[in-house]
Structure 1
Amino acid sequence: MRISSIQLDGFKSFRAETTLTFPKSITAIVGPNGSGKSNVADAFRWVLGEQSLKAVRSEDQTDVIFGGSAKQHKLSRAAVTIRFLRDENDNKGNIDSPEIEIRRKIYINGESSYELQKRSARLLDIQLFLAERNVGERNYAVIGQGQIDEVLRRSPADRMDFFYEATGVKKYQIKLHKARLKLSSSRERISQTNALLKELGPRKSYLEKQAGEYARRKNIMDDLSKKYRIYYRGLLFEFDAELARKHHDLQQLEKEFKKAETSALNLESEIERATSDFSHGEKDARIMSEISRLSCERDLARESLREVQHSARERLLGEGKFDIAFLRRRAQELEELLTAIRKESYELEASITQITARFVAGEKEISKIAQTILGLKNHQTFSKLVVIEKLEEIVEFTDSARVKKELREFIEQLRRDDIASSISEREELYREQKAAHDEVRIELKVLEEKRGMITVGERRSRSEYEDVKLKLQKSEFGVTEQLLKDVELVISERKIELAEIDAGIKKYEDERRELTREMDSGRLKLVELQKSYRGAEEQKSHVSDLLQAVKIDIVRIETKREEAVREMVEKVGEALAETISNTKDTIQNPNDLRALKADLRRLEHDAALIGEVPEDVLAEYKEVKERFDFLTAQSSDLDSAVASLEKISLELEREIKTQFAEKFHNLNLAFGAYINELFSGGNGELSEITIQKENDEGNIVERDGVEITAHPPGKKIKHTGALSGGERSLVAVALLCAIISSNPPPFVILDEIDAALDEANSKRLADIIQKLSARTQFIIITHNRTTMEVADSLYGVTMDDDGVSRLVSVSLEGYE
């Protein structure tokens, strides 16, 4: 791998973007002091990961940004990009591009970043990349004036890092460092994991127990839920079946009650009709009145006929002369008869008025009794409703079903008996008043008929009286033949009338006998109907009692069912309760239901013993268990990782020790050879030593170190501190050349390391560099003409009065 170019953008004095390409093995960068040529060396150090501000000659990390000048304003960022051409046999890492690019940027706010192949990278990634290719981020990758001399001045222990890098074991040390960091991190994580496991263990055990209890309770509750569904379905089915039976009984009883009620109403109607049949008494009174009237008329007609015959006979015996005295006497008798009729008529009118008042009063009494009976019947129905209402109120305030039932039956019986007794008494009174009223009606009818007869008799007597008076008047002027004819006509009419009256009397007497027979039969029928009516009422009352009992049973069963539904809702929830209520299951054997109820009580007891377990315990247990299992697996993985890292660390330590020993041996040989070459004789040696030192805790610890000895020709010097400045410079150059030759890096940047050498030694160093350039790329910042002569290409750095460095490139190929 070799450097193909470096690009500076705003870095120190290189304000503008400046690119240096390195096509050959040796490139020299020259320029006067203060031109900024050493800033190129700083750019190499900085982009390769140098973290020391002193190494890049800065006091603050942002000092590498162009700070401005009198003619140029300052910048806000700086960037350096270095590009490498990858060797064909470089298969390290996962980079397959022929050109590799590393970029480092920094902003004025201090924010910085690295990029590897234009991707964000860490410093450790950059260091490992370089170490794998035998390039260190400092020490001998970029070597400045006096830097090797500084190594000579260090103590043996402090030189170890330099020689680790010089021998190429730095990459193993980085890997070992990373392995140890991981090992330390893994052990810390193991400690944390074990602490968490120790903390989670009791919680996991507790939750595991709780989860077990929850599972047991869930199984019990699932069993309960299943059996609740079966139990309540069966229980509700029993209630529904019993309610269906009761409703069927209720319907049957209602039919029976309606039938009994209809029968009672029909019998009541028949009784009313039978009772109304006693209006035949009116017919009988009318018949009797007609008979009486006709009898009176017959008597009057007979009397009239006798009188007419007698009068006619007397008149005929008196030679056709009318007996005026008789007529006068007859007129007087008729006048007296009219007076008697009028008196009887007045008395009859008074009796009719009195009986009519009694009749009206009787009707009012009957109406009042009928209203009372109707009210009592209505009260009977109302009382039953009130009793049910009161009974339901009592049910709400008592817990004893037996007391509820007894109170209900007792109050109902009292109300029913009292009202039934009152109705029976009123109906009996109604029948008595009705009979008395009928008698008054008949009596009134008879009097009316009698009044009619008297009126008729009065009219006839008055007519006869008027006729007699007329005849008397006519008799005074003599009897005519026409009068005789009239008398005969009257006699004939009286006879016809008498015959008609006799026929009418006979007809009415026949009707009266038939009516009497019908009334006797009607009375017997009425007695039977009243007996049947009382039986129908008793049956209706009995059925009503049974109806009330069935309704009470229905209320009781519905109450129990509602209690069962409420209990079911509490047990299984409203949604499931609704599903159960709509499901029609049955349990054939009631004993199964009792056994199921016993199972439910046992399961409820078991659930109560377990108690309530939070529903989220499973989720928490699952979470804790997953966490515990994860940590257990993680602990196991970490144990495996620790074992693996410990193994890797041991292998890396062995590899470092083996590599260092081998490379250090070769380095020692090369160092001795270059001492001899540069000093034209003499010898030098690198030796590994162990140093014991007391640490801060007062303990003795051992540390490795490297001792450097050099013996110029003719001198015996124990340590490098006794060498002169020129001799120490040559020892430093010899050490540098030994490192490069024994462990050739892909490139080396030398920053004025030849400044202290004379021309002869400069010539020797130039020759060595030219030989080493076969395997290592050299970029040399120098003032030395001899060094410039071996360069393949040359960059000149200048700076104008604006404080900005600029480049001039010259190719020296072909020049001698």
Structure 2
Amino acid sequence: MFLEKLEIQGFKSFAYKNKLIFSGSISKDKKGLTAIVGPNGSGKSNIADAVRWVLGEQSLKMLRGKKSEDVIFSGSDKKGRLGLAEVSLFLNNAENVAKNKDLDQKNDSDLDKIINTCSEIVITRRVFRNSESEYLINNTRSRLSDIQMLLAKASFGQKTYSVIGQGMVDNFLNSSIADRKDFFDEATGVKQFQIKRDHALNKLELSYDNLQQVEMLLSEIRPRLKSLTRQMEKLKKRTEIEDKLKGSQINYFGYLWQNISQKLNSANKSYLELEKIKLSKEKNLENLNDELNHIRANDNFQKINELQPLIRDLSDQKNIYQKKLAKLEIELETQLESRGQFDLSWLNGKLSELKLELENINLEIESLQKNRSNQEEESLKIELSDIEKELKQSAQIQEEIRHLNKEKEENRNKLTRLEAVLEANINARAGLNFKNLKEKRKNFNLEIENLNKEISELTDKYDKKESRNLSEELRVLQEKIGTLNIELQQINEKIQKAAKSGGKEETINSIVKNFLQKLDKIETISDFKEAKKLLKEAKEIFQEEIKAVLTGESDEDARRIQSLQQEIIELTENRQIINEKISQNNNQRAKIKEEINVVLEKKSRLEWELVTIEQDLKKEDIEKENNLNSDIGSIKQDLRAQAEKLSRLIPQNKSNQLLEKKQIILNKLQTCHFKNSALEEKIRLLNEQREKTATEIEEIKIKIQKGQTKFDTFQIEEEKIKLSEKIANIEKEEAALNNELDDLNQAKEEEKNQMFACQKKIQVLQTELTDYLNNLNNLKIDATRQETRLEDLENNIRNNNLSLNEIESFPEEETIPDLNVLQKNINNYKNQLEQIGGIDEETEKEYANTKERYDFLFKQTDDLDKTIKSLEQIIKELDVKIKERFDKEFKIISEKFNEYFQILFSGGSAKISKVMLEDLENEDKKKEKEISDYIETGLSKAEAEIKLASDEKMRKIKFLKKHNAVGLAGIEIQANPPGKKIQSVTMLSGGERALTAIALICAIISANPAPFVVLDEVDAALDESNSERLAKILDDLSNKSQFIVITHNRASMRRANILYGVTMKNDGVSQIISIKLDEVDINKIAAR
């Protein structure tokens, strides 16, 4: 390897790019010599500085500058400054590549590959004015250490003989023995190994430091890892217990879930079945009501009502005709007796009778007009209006009842949930203090007594309210009965008039009197049951007596009795409605009593639970006792609210009763219309009769006025015959109508029986429906209770962090689990979990991270230990290699130094010797001293030993850095010119020092030749003869190294192969001129 070319641009005085091409290998045995000459100040030494700078020199003092930008061309009067300095060194490496081409280069480093494969190596260094710098190897950016290692492998160096500048020869001799040691490291060729050793030591120090940090981290992590390990063991145990707890809870809650679900499904199934039956019964009831309405809507009643006026009219006409016929017969007899003489007095009597009859007819008409059923119709209309108002109020009441039922259902659900919560709280409060329990029992009993009083007051209040309602109904009924009583008395008077025998009259009076006396006794609710029996007896009595009366001859009385029968039927229907209402009220009361019984049962159950708690529970803290008081207070308030709402309940069937009552009144109204029509017809007939009578009176008056005294007997006979025919026709028509009326009455009786049968069926169905509704309500309450228990169970399941899917999918077991055992296991597991205590959820993650970090750091310690052992082994191997090579090369250099010294001085002697480091103090004594020093600082002996052990490794590194592989402290130079005995080289003259340094440099080059050597005016202090001797030595050494000599000496010029001249013009820029001395006579140039 040799220097082939040097390119300089912007470096110091070389503003422009300049190339210096060197001789290189002139022949097989010659590397060549290049001389650079020029006047002082021309910048020829800048070439040596450029070579030193591109080889990585960091000392600005060696480069004759103060800061990095001083090496950049700073400008002149005619040339501005530059911003960049760049120097490129071209090394020819073809010989080395050819030598190593057959070697295996797979495991070579990058630098080794460059040295062994690149025929040309270009090293470039750039610097900018902002102090940024770049290093390049073959135009690839590199580090300074890479360039240093490359140069060390090629036997280059910044501090060695590769570049020897002005004053360095004298400084070398005047330097300390330690500074000479660095020079000899490069001179002996161990610099590359020293660099590797230094790198290994730095890595070893870093590894020791990292190991110490890792051990510190491990010492910090170990206690935490032990704590986390213990917690993980607890967590593992807790997990096992939680699994067991979960299994027991799944069995416990699963069985309860299945049990409650089965009960709920059974209740829902029963509810649906009863609902279907209820709908069927309701359908049947609707059909019966339709049938009853159809019977009521039958026109037989209307036909009877239509026929009765006709029969009455015919009967009236027949009576009139019969009276007329009787009168005619009397008149005829009188005429026959008086033989045609007219009796004026008879006519006057007849006239008086007719006037009296006319007045009676007028009075009857007025009476009928006054007493006809318009009054009854108006009262019924008023009653109908009142009922409609009651229906509206009933609708409002029904809405309020629905709202109250909804609230009652919500309160019942709430009460059920509170019971479940209370039951759960009772199960959870397993440690109640016995003394506190006694006090609690006393308060609890007091609360129960208060509840009993409230229930009793609620029952009394309800009974009173129900009594008031029934009393109101009885009052309305008694008013009806009073109205009926008045009407019956009127009928009784007419019956007395119509009866032909006193026995019947007394019988009817007795019946009516007894009936009225019995009705007067119905005043309170205690007599109400007897009222039903009395009404039934009254019905039977009236039916029998009315049938007896109907056998009489009075048609008017018969019609009135028929009307009375209709009223009795309506009264019976009212009685049935009241009976139904009483039954519904009884059912409603039974429901409320049942709810009160439920409350009592709850009270009994609370008492039983209190006794159970008193027997089983032992301990409970004050906080749980307060919670129990709060729960009991909530239940008490809910029970009171429930009782208040129950007390405000109104029978739900009042609306239906009012609707039925409205229908009955409408029927009565229609009957009144029929009666009114009949009365109007009777009034019309009476008016006609009155008109006829008046006409007859007028005729009689006319006859009297005319004095007619004779009647035609024949006319009377003829009129008698006509009247007899009319009477016969009327009797036939009356008989036909009576037959038709009998048929209609018979049909009416059949329809009445059918009506009674339908009403009985309806009553039975209504009773059954009431039972079904009660059962449905009970089933709904049971289903709601089960749903509430299921919801509470679901909340309990969620509170225990269980999944509903696991509970719902719980298989049905053939054997019923022991819930007490499961509950005991659950409590036991929970107690164990409480003893273990809570563990942070992040513990497992923290343990995993800590364990992972600990394992990683522990592995790092193994890796660092291996690295440290490997580095220590490398350092040992390098130390052996360095020592062997240094000793070998040092011996050769010492011999060559003496040889070249004798050549230059023509005798004398010189040698170099190693100055070794003193032996280390006894390690044991030193260790004891350090321990005592640590103890003086306040540490114990054990702590001092630990501290010493931690510092021992770092002390070892410091020792290895301080003591090189050779154990060399420095180099001592001894030189004795001929005839002199010098104690120190500092006593030599300037020329002698120069020759001595040159001799040592030549010895080093001879022993370990560098690829090239730059000598900057090292011969400046030599005379002509010594210059010749130096030139001859350089010429001899040129077969080992390439020389670039900056000189003023003609002897060096004469032996140079290439001569470069450096000049500087007025612009302050250095320029280079080259001459190949092989073609020029050097003597001519020297002569000039």
Task: Tell me whether the two structures share a fold, i.e. TM-score over 0.5.
Answer: yes
Q: 1:691 to 1:723 in 2, by over 3 A?
A: farther
Shift of residue 11, structure 1, vs aligned partner? 0.8
- Tell me whether 1:648 sits opposite 2:874 in the alignment: yes
Q: Deviations over 1:744-778 (max 9, x none)?
A: 11111111111122222211211111111111111
Match of 2:776 among 547, 571, 578: 547
Q: Deviations over 1:395-449 (max 9, x none)?
A: 4775348999998997999799779957985896698589777438699899777
Contact 1:29–1:796 (CA<8 Å) still a contact in 2?
yes
Q: Deviations over 1:74-132 (max 9, x none)?
A: 22221211111114335661212211111122222222232222222222221111111
Amino acid in the other structure paired with 1:672: N
**Aligned equivalents of 1:97, 1:456: Cα separation in 2:** 160
Residue 170 of structure 2: SS of its match in structure 1?
A: helix
Where do 1:506-545 residues align within 5 Å? 506-507=735-736, 510=739, 531-545=760-774
- Tell me whether 1:293 sits opposite 2:293 in the alignment: no
Instruction: Single out whichever of 40-49 and 196-205 deviates more from structure 2.
Output: 196-205
- Tell me whether 1:335 sits opposite 2:354 in the alignment: no
> Residue 734 of structure 1 corresponds to which residue in structure 2?
999
Q: Deviations over 1:167-192 (max 9, x none)?
A: 11121111111111111111111111
Contact 1:8–1:79 (CA<8 Å) still a contact in 2?
yes
Instruction: Single out whichever of 634-643 and 377-386 deviates more from structure 2.
Output: 377-386
Residue 93 of structure 1: SS of its match in structure 2?
A: helix
**Aligned equivalents of 1:400, 1:196: Cα separation in 2:** 59
Residue 351 of structure 1: SS of its match in structure 2?
A: helix
Contact 1:133–1:746 (CA<8 Å) still a contact in 2?
yes
> Residue 18 of structure 1 corresponds to which residue in structure 2?
18
**Aligned equivalents of 1:386, 1:705: Cα separation in 2:** 114
Contact 1:257–1:543 (CA<8 Å) still a contact in 2?
yes
**Aligned equivalents of 1:626, 1:596: Cα separation in 2:** 41
In the alignment, structure 1 segments of 5+ residues that lack a partner are none
> Residue 723 of structure 2 corresponds to which residue in structure 1?
494
**Aligned equivalents of 1:64, 1:681: Cα separation in 2:** 43
> Residue 388 of structure 1 corresponds to which residue in structure 2?
405
Amino acid in the other structure paired with 2:196: K
- Tell me whether 1:107 sits opposite 2:336 in the alignment: no
Contact 2:1017–2:1048 (CA<8 Å) still a contact in 1?
yes
Q: 1:139 to 1:274 in 2, by over 3 A?
A: closer
**Aligned equivalents of 1:180, 1:720: Cα separation in 2:** 35
> Residue 676 of structure 1 corresponds to which residue in structure 2?
902
Contact 1:72–1:802 (CA<8 Å) still a contact in 2?
yes
Match of 2:342 among 305, 316, 324: 324
Match of 1:359 among 376, 401, 426: 376
Match of 2:173 among 152, 175, 190: 152
Which has more helix, going by share of residues?
A: 2
Q: Deviations over 1:684-703 (max 9, x none)?
A: 222223365999x9999985
Instruction: Single out whichever of 534-543 and 80-89 deviates more from structure 2.
Output: 534-543
Contact 1:331–1:469 (CA<8 Å) still a contact in 2?
no
Instruction: Single out whichever of 672-681 and 465-474 deviates more from structure 2.
Output: 465-474
Instruction: Single out whichever of 194-203 and 636-645 deviates more from structure 2.
Output: 194-203
- Tell me whether 1:306 sits opposite 2:329 in the alignment: yes
Shift of residue 253, structure 1, vs aligned partner? 3.9
Contact 1:35–1:797 (CA<8 Å) still a contact in 2?
yes
**Aligned equivalents of 1:428, 1:252: Cα separation in 2:** 40
Residue 863 of structure 2: SS of its match in structure 1?
A: helix
Residue 72 of structure 1: SS of its match in structure 2?
A: coil
Shift of residue 740, structure 1, vs aligned partner? 0.6
Residue 15 of structure 1: SS of its match in structure 2?
A: coil
Amino acid in the other structure paired with 1:676: Q
In the alignment, structure 2 segments of 5+ residues that lack a partner are 25-31, 101-110, 423-447, 488-562, 568-671, 931-961, 1082-1088
Q: 1:287 to 1:717 in 2, by over 3 A?
A: same
Instruction: Single out whichever of 361-370 and 780-789 deviates more from structure 2.
Output: 361-370
What is the root-mean-square deviation in Å for CA atoms of aligned residues? Answer: 4.6
Instruction: Single out whichever of 425-434 and 610-619 deviates more from structure 2.
Output: 425-434
Q: Deviations over 1:491-549 (max 9, x none)?
A: 32122112223334544555666666667667766665555554444333333333332
Where do 1:310-459 residues align within 5 Å? 310=333, 313=336, 318=339, 322-325=340-343, 328-352=344-368, 353-356=370-373, 359-360=376-377, 363-364=380-381, 367=384, 381-382=398-399, 384-392=401-409, 394-395=411-412, 398=415, 399-400=418-419, 438-439=563-564, 454-455=686-687, 457-459=689-691
Amino acid in the other structure paired with 1:495: S
Q: 1:593 to 1:384 in 2, by over 3 A?
A: farther
**Aligned equivalents of 1:413, 1:602: Cα separation in 2:** 51
**Aligned equivalents of 1:755, 1:681: Cα separation in 2:** 22
- Tell me whether 1:767 sits opposite 2:1032 in the alignment: yes
Instruction: Single out whichever of 297-306 and 759-768 deviates more from structure 2.
Output: 297-306
Contact 1:376–1:423 (CA<8 Å) still a contact in 2?
no
Residue 113 of structure 2: SS of its match in structure 1?
A: coil
Q: Deviations over 1:336-374 (max 9, x none)?
A: 122221221233234321354653465357647865986
Contact 1:232–1:580 (CA<8 Å) still a contact in 2?
no
> Residue 3 of structure 1 corresponds to which residue in structure 2?
3
Residue 15 of structure 2: SS of its match in structure 1?
A: coil
> Residue 938 of structure 2 corresponds to which residue in structure 1?
none
Q: Deviations over 1:435-471 (max 9, x none)?
A: 7774386998997776566545545544544555666
Alignment coverage as a number of residue pairs:
801
Shift of residue 707, structure 1, vs aligned partner? 2.6
Contact 1:676–1:682 (CA<8 Å) still a contact in 2?
yes
Amino acid in the other structure paired with 1:654: V
Q: 1:147 to 1:540 in 2, by over 3 A?
A: same
> Residue 187 of structure 1 corresponds to which residue in structure 2?
208
Match of 2:191 among 133, 146, 170: 170
**Aligned equivalents of 2:393, 2:281: Cα separation in 1:** 18
Contact 2:34–2:1043 (CA<8 Å) still a contact in 1?
yes
Residue 980 of structure 2: SS of its match in structure 1?
A: coil
Q: 1:690 to 1:362 in 2, by over 3 A?
A: closer
Shift of residue 657, structure 1, vs aligned partner? 1.2
**Aligned equivalents of 1:415, 1:799: Cα separation in 2:** 141
Residue 159 of structure 1: SS of its match in structure 2?
A: helix
Contact 1:37–1:797 (CA<8 Å) still a contact in 2?
yes
Shift of residue 785, structure 1, vs aligned partner? 0.5
Shift of residue 52, structure 1, vs aligned partner? 1.8
Larger Rg: 1
> Residue 116 of structure 1 corresponds to which residue in structure 2?
137
> Residue 662 of structure 1 corresponds to which residue in structure 2?
888
Q: Percent identity?
A: 32
- Tell me whether 1:28 sits opposite 2:35 in the alignment: yes
Q: 1:498 to 1:472 in 2, by over 3 A?
A: farther
Shift of residue 289, structure 1, vs aligned partner? 3.1
- Tell me whether 1:78 sits opposite 2:97 in the alignment: no
Shift of residue 42, structure 1, vs aligned partner? 0.9
Shift of residue 628, structure 1, vs aligned partner? 2.6
TM norm structure 2? 0.64
Shift of residue 7, structure 1, vs aligned partner? 1.4
Q: 1:37 to 1:229 in 2, by over 3 A?
A: farther
Shift of residue 815, structure 1, vs aligned partner? 4.9
- Tell me whether 1:797 sits opposite 2:1026 in the alignment: no
